Amino acid sequence: MGAVYAEPDNADALLREMRTALTSQGSRDVLGTIRKGATRVPFSLSARGDTIAFQYKRGNAWERFDVHIGSKEARLMLVNNGKAIVMSPANYAQNIAGTDVTYEDLSLRFLYWKGGRILPDSADSRIKGRDCFIVQASNPSPGTGQFATVRMWIDKENGTVWQIDGYGADGKLRKRFSITSIQRLSDGSWFFKQMKIEVRNPQNDRRTIALNYLEMDDIPEKKK
């Protein structure tokens, strides 16, 4: 199942490897759908160097935002008529087009948080029968976005991120992101086909109160 990942020196190195795997699709334009019940929102993403462009359809119009990946952080940018402006952090947790998926959810902005740590292996380290590293990272800008802390389960063998738990400042689980289906490409790399996003009850974080899905079309192979 792909290349075996070396034991990482630190959490930042592991997340860097995992992000490289996620964006290894190069210049492919990837299409998908955000789904909540009967609501279906078409979206696309394109990786171009240090920029990932996201577009989604609101009504009859397409809207766009970009993730600019810098050496210290990833910034979200709103793009209108070809002009990009920095998104206000107050909008990171804004829901997209009638779903519970936010700008930071779709962009997975928290994968770029630095200074995290790898937790010791435990019974919780296995997801879907796979041995994983658990990386815990804290929000470098407390109070910005939905989460104060995230935990990420990253496959030790192929670098797939199987699960992400996002916690509020109160320590309660706010959202759980779970990969439910993956696609293997001819070059041996992996890409998720479906991600389930569970919204948890603020009073009882063991209860899921809403389900959303990110569903990707088949990834086209690179042209030779």
Domain-embedded: residue 48: yes
DSSP 104-144: HHHHTGGGG--S-EEPPP-GGGEETTEEEEEEEEE-SSTTS
Residue 120: give the domain boundaries: 11-216
- Asked if the structure places residue 39 within a domain, the reply is yes
Determine, yes or no, domain membership for 6: no
60 contacts: CB under 8 Å, gap ≥ 6: none
One digit per residue, pLDDT tens: the chain, 224 residues?
A: 334 455 566 898 888 877 766 655 445 678 999 999 999 999 998 887 788 899 999 999 999 999 988 767 788 999 998 899 999 999 999 999 999 999 999 988 888 898 899 999 999 999 989 999 999 999 988 888 999 999 999 989 888 889 999 999 999 999 999 999 887 766 666 678 899 999 999 999 999 999 999 998 876 555 55
In a domain, 49, yes or no: yes
Q: Provide the strand spans (E) within the chain.
A: 29-36, 39-48, 51-58, 61-69, 74-80, 83-86, 117-118, 126-127, 130-138, 149-155, 161-167, 173-184, 190-200, 208-216
**Does residue 56 fall inside a structural domain?**
yes
Chain CA centroid to CA 119, Å: 20
Q: Rounded to 5 degrees, what angle do the CA atoms 100, 103, 107 make? A: 115
Which amino acid is it at 1?
M
For residue 125, tell me if it sits in a domain.
yes
Looking at the domain assignment, is residue 180 inside a domain? Answer: yes
* CATH number of the CATH domain containing 69: 2.50.20.10
Question: Looking at the domain assignment, is residue 3 inside a domain?
Answer: no
- Number of separate domains in the chain: 1
